[in-house]
A and B are shown apart, each in its own frame.
Chain A
Amino acid sequence: MSDIRPEAEAKHSATQKPPLDPHLKALENEAIHIFREVAAEFERPVMLYSIGKDSSVLLHLARKAFYPGRVPFPLLHVNTGWKFAEMIAFRDKIVKDYDLDLIEHINPRGAAENVTPFTHGSALYTDIMKTEALRQALDAGKFDAAFGGARRDEEASRAKERIYSFRTPDHRWDPRNQRPELWNIYNGMIRNGESVRAFPLSNWTEVDIWRYIQAEDIPIVPLYFAEKRPYVERDGMMILAEDPRLELLPGEVKQEGVIRFRTLGCFPLTGAIRSTATTLDDIIAELETATVSERQGRAIDRDQSGSMEKKKREGYF
């Protein structure tokens, strides 16, 4: 082997990790292949970055795919203004530590019309602050490919989605008319204005994500770990009661308990779970005996039957 190594390489080999098991290695290889294929075939790719655990894994895989080069596309964070404060602090640190290009977009209509999850209801709020905002940001950047961290095991309509998911110029997904996707050969041919959403984590499950975070020592937002936190119970969910904008409704009381989050979104719409899992080992052990799915804590999935498919058709990720 050569004695001459770039400086960055030496740094990595200094922290010798045990090799990944064949299961995670196969998933990692597939994701890296997809990242490289999209980066090579499209003019203006972007990576959707939501700061959650799946985004953290996605970002890690992107860094691996293009090493020793820089990640050759920007990250796009569609902010609603209602994310957990810890998420934003984490995002800013990651962007700085890893030398990334971040685009942050907040739908200007949200601020102008004061759209909040409290005043507009979760369905309309999500439509304006997430779906509409995402379309605005993708149009503004003229992005022809957008990486997302969606997994097929998350939700029924996602189980049918391709790894390259074709979108019309107005960002619509037509589930009945998807391009066949054979082997690992992806069809990236599009016309002007059309785009592709690419999902490198399609074949990962929630347990895979956590085991990979553990194996690769990937930093994640501390809200995933159990800690004593203030919360209120609302609509059967435990809502974190830290943000001064959260107004208690009649009958609600601020409580304290050891809780954590299985998924992270907008704090008023994301329910915590009771858990004492303070380490990755604890989280994985908890997951393997879990009896509810991770999206159970997400209000937006339950607005109506088939609601995720409907949102996706309209351009939600």
Chain B
Amino acid sequence: MTVSATATAEVFSLEETAPDHARAIRDSRPLRLITCGSVDDGKSTLIGRLLWDTKAVKEDQAATLERDSSGKQNDLGLPDFALLLDGLQAEREQGITIDVAYRYFSTDRRAFIVADTPGHEQYTRNMATGASTADLAVLLVDARVGILEQTRRHATIASLMGIRQFVLAVNKIDLTHYDRARFEQITHDFKEFALTLGVKQITAIPMSALKGENVVYDGRAAMPWYDGPTLVETLEKATTRSNQTVGFRLPVQRVSRPGESFRGYQGTVAGGSVKPGDSVVVLPSGMVANVTKIVTFDLVRNAAVAGDAITLVLDRQVDVARGDMIVAIDSQPMTGRGFDAQLVALQPDGIEPGKRYWLKSGSRRQRVSIEPVSQLDLKTAKWGAADRLGMNAIGKVHLTFDEQAIFDTYEQNRTTGAFILIDPDTNNTVAGGMITGRRSEIGGIHKDDQRVLLSLPADLAEKIMATELFANRRQDVDVRHTSAGRAAEILADLDD
């Protein structure tokens, strides 16, 4: 029992215990997890319990808590945990959680970052936000109630966002008199459903967050029939996701040129690894170069892996700008102007067909038009045809870019396969998306050998390209910007 060790350690001298703790945390990256469940499944109580039993809540915070709840306590004489979490005044007033909050706790094995997301249906978008960075999802169900539509909804969203590790927390088990058969039935129901999502890694735990059983401390006294891990033990053993096994990707954030003699490309490695001597390609230009150095503040490194923030130096003068991607020569991402994706609509206006949005992926921002194709019905888990997506909708869409785009599938790389959409009218983030594949450049019903080259002033071209008719056929069109003189030359060539 890892945390009880920390708790009792206080009686010993600090010199003996502290170094152990410090060494333990060094073993791994923080595990990011998301907690989700329906409104009354006891999520806030669970997180409060986690923070309380791992000593992440300090005395003065507990005192504020007791003052704010005007002495309101649960039947165990502990403060109302939900108040600890609902930090915003509106939330305290309404007694609900309206936004993603991030919580931090650690055991002597590992540190944890919890995205605490709202249970209400209208805040599904916040769940998607929390799930985007999570390694693991904790799904809460009330043991008396079992799997609800909202449970299935959350499991579906979490799996779409790429989460492969689930904990099914069967909470309030004390209120069923620790009914083992009930626990096993709920576990069975959920596993059956999860299989349809392709999720296989599920740990089901019977628990009482209120009483602190099987959360941090074990609940053997009340549930001798359960010999599995507690929630915290499960979290300590979970794996963090990594993009290290795929091809090298460096989305260039900025070009560093402090003086004549130095030119480096700064960014965070989004996949694979790199070392001096490797051959790389700069996309979208396609220029090839070799890596000469990986520069960091501390030392010149002999390798960098996914997740590292680095400065890369190449062996020749190539044209590299922010938004470009430097990739492994033998394992390149997809490039093109048409892609397929799944996305979650995050704002009241939804996603409008044909509208031109800004798409940001990595450090690259470009114009895109969206064509909704289908929408997921979260009740039936079936996809049905759709031509627009409302708020909270999960849809499949076609993306059509004005210029070359660069992606991996989200399945292969959770960084280079992910994007957000920004509404140019409001500047707000209106969708989160995941690339599923590339579409052929010229496809569908418009296959035709006949092409027309037009040379027009840029402002007129802008106007034409902004029309709905044009946007709907965007994937069929090649556009290049050039000077009037060069355009005249090309047309003259054709006339010859």
Q: A residues bordering B, Cβ < 8 Å?
A: 1-2, 5-6, 9, 12-13, 16-17, 21-23, 25-29, 32-33, 36-37, 39-40, 63-70, 152-153, 155-160, 175-176, 178-185, 187, 189-191, 202-203, 205, 207-208, 211, 281-282, 284-286, 288-293, 295-296, 305-306, 309
Whether B276 contacts A182 by the Cβ 8 Å rule is no
| Interchain nearest-CB distance for A68 vs B (Å) | 5
CB-CB nearest in chain B for A153: B104
Closest to B261 in A: A6
Name the residue of chain A whose CB is nearest to the CB of B101. A159
Residues 107-143 of B, flagged 1 when their CB comes within 8 A of A and 0 if not, give 0000101000000000001101100110000000000
Q: B68 an interface residue at 8 Å Cβ cutoff?
A: yes
For residue B60, which residues in chain A have a CB less than 8 angstroms away from its CB?
A: 292-293, 295-296
Q: Which 3 A-B pairs have the closest CB atoms?
A: A156-B87, A21-B26, A69-B258
Is the pair B311, A180 in contact by a Cβ cutoff of 8 Å? no
Report whether A33 and B268 are in contact in the complex, using a CB–CB cutoff of 8 Å. yes
B254 contact set on A, CB distance < 8 A:
36, 39-40
Of A6, A16, A28, A160, most buried by chain B (CB within 10 Å of CB) is A160
Are A187 and B104 within 8 A (Cβ)?
no
Number of contacting residues on B, CB 8 A? 87
Q: Tell me the complex Cα distance, A159–B21, Å.
A: 25
Residues of the A chain whose Cβ atoms lie less than 8 Å from the Cβ of B26: 21-23
Pairwise interchain contact B295-A286, C-beta atoms closer than 8 A: no
Given A29-B268, A36-B267, A160-B101, answer yes or no on A290-B299 (Cβ-Cβ < 8 Å): no
Bound complex: CA A69 to CA B265 (Å)? 12
Instruction: Please name all residues of chain B whose beta carbon is closer than 8 Å to the beta carbon of A21 when the two chains form the complex.
Output: 25-27
**Residues of chain A lying within 8 A (CB to CB) of residue B61:** 293
Assess the A189–B427 pair: CB atoms within 8 A: yes
B409 sits at the interface (CB 8 A): no
11 A-B pairs, CB-CB below 8 angstroms?
A: A5-B300, A16-B299, A22-B29, A25-B29, A33-B268, A40-B322, A69-B258, A175-B90, A182-B133, A182-B432, A293-B58
Q: In the complex, what distance in Å separates the CA atom of A52 from the CA atom of B441?
A: 55
B300–A9 contact, CB under 8 A? yes
B380 lies within 8 A of chain A by Cβ: no
Question: Given that A1-B276, A29-B309 are known contacts, is A12 also in contact with B297, CB under 8 Å in the complex?
Answer: yes
Per DSSP, chain B at the interface is mixed
Which A-chain residue is minimally distant from B360 (CB atoms)? Answer: A185
* Contact (Cβ within 8 A) A289 B14: yes
Question: Could you say which residues of chain A place their CB within 8 Å of the CB of B59?
Answer: 291-292
B276, A285: Cβ atoms under 8 Å? no
Q: Is the CB of A1 within 8 A of B298?
A: no
Type the 1/0 row for B332-358, where 1 means its CB is closer than 8 Å to any CB of A. Answer: 000000000000001000000000001
Tell me, yes or no, whether B482 is within 8 Å of chain A by CB: no
Q: How many Å lie between the Cα of A305 and that of B83 in the bound state?
A: 12
Q: Which listed residue (B25, B68, B358, B422) contacts A23, Cβ 8 A?
A: B25
Report the bound CA distance from A220 to B110 in whole Å: 27
User: If the complex has contacts A9-B295, A67-B311, A291-B59, are A176 and B90 also in contact, measured as CB distance less than 8 A?
Assistant: yes
A2-B292, A17-B298 are known contacts. Are A290 and B58 too (CB-CB below 8 A)? Answer: yes
Q: Are A189 and B358 in contact (CB under 8 A)?
A: yes
Nearest B residue to A5, CB-CB: B300
Q: Is B307 an interface residue (CB 8 A)?
A: yes
Listed in ascending order, the chain B residues whose CB lies under 8 Å from chain A are: 9-10, 14-15, 17-18, 21-22, 25-30, 58-61, 64, 67-68, 84-90, 92, 98-104, 106, 111, 113, 125-126, 128-129, 132-133, 253-254, 256-258, 261-262, 264, 266-268, 276, 292-293, 295-300, 302, 307-309, 311, 322, 346, 358, 360-363, 414-415, 418-420, 422, 427-429, 432
Q: Contacting B102 at CB < 8 Å: which of A159, A183, A208, A293? A: A159
Q: Which of B15, B85, B125, B129 has the most CB of A within 10 A?
A: B129
Distance in angstroms between the alpha carbons of A148 and B172 in the assembled complex: 41
Cβ–Cβ contact B262 & A68, under 8 A: yes
Across the interface, do A296 and B58 meet the contact criterion of CB distance under 8 Å? yes
Q: Please determine whether B104 and A182 come into contact, CB atoms closer than 8 angstroms.
A: no
Q: How far is the CA of A33 from the CA of B428 in the complex (A)?
A: 22
What chain A residues lie within 8 Å of B264 (beta carbons)? 68
Inter-chain contact B103/A182, CB cutoff 8 Å: no
Determine whether the beta carbon of B21 is less than 8 Å from that of A288. yes
Q: Quick one: closest B residue to A293, CB to CB?
A: B58
Contact partners of A64 in chain B: CB under 8 A: 296-298
Which of A33, A69, A285, A295 lies in contact with B256, CB distance below 8 A? A69
Find out whether the CB atom of A65 lies under 8 angstroms from the CB atom of B25.
no
- Given that A40-B322, A67-B297 are known contacts, is A189 also in contact with B422, CB under 8 Å in the complex? yes
A308: nearest chain-B partner, CB-CB: B87
Find chain A residues with CB under 8 A from B21 CB. Answer: 288
Whether B25 lies near A152 (C-beta < 8 A) is no
- In the complex the two chains form, is B132's CB within 8 Å of A183's CB? yes
Given contacts A33-B309, A187-B360, A211-B22, 13 further A-B contacts (CB under 8 A): A12-B299, A22-B29, A23-B25, A23-B29, A26-B307, A36-B267, A40-B254, A152-B101, A180-B129, A182-B129, A185-B360, A205-B104, A205-B111
Nearest CB to that of B275 among chain A residues? A1
Smallest CB separation, A190 vs chain B (Å): 6
Centre residue among A65, A66, A158, A288 by max chain B CB count within 10 A: A288
What residues of chain B lie closer than 8 Å to A178, measured between beta carbons? Answer: 99
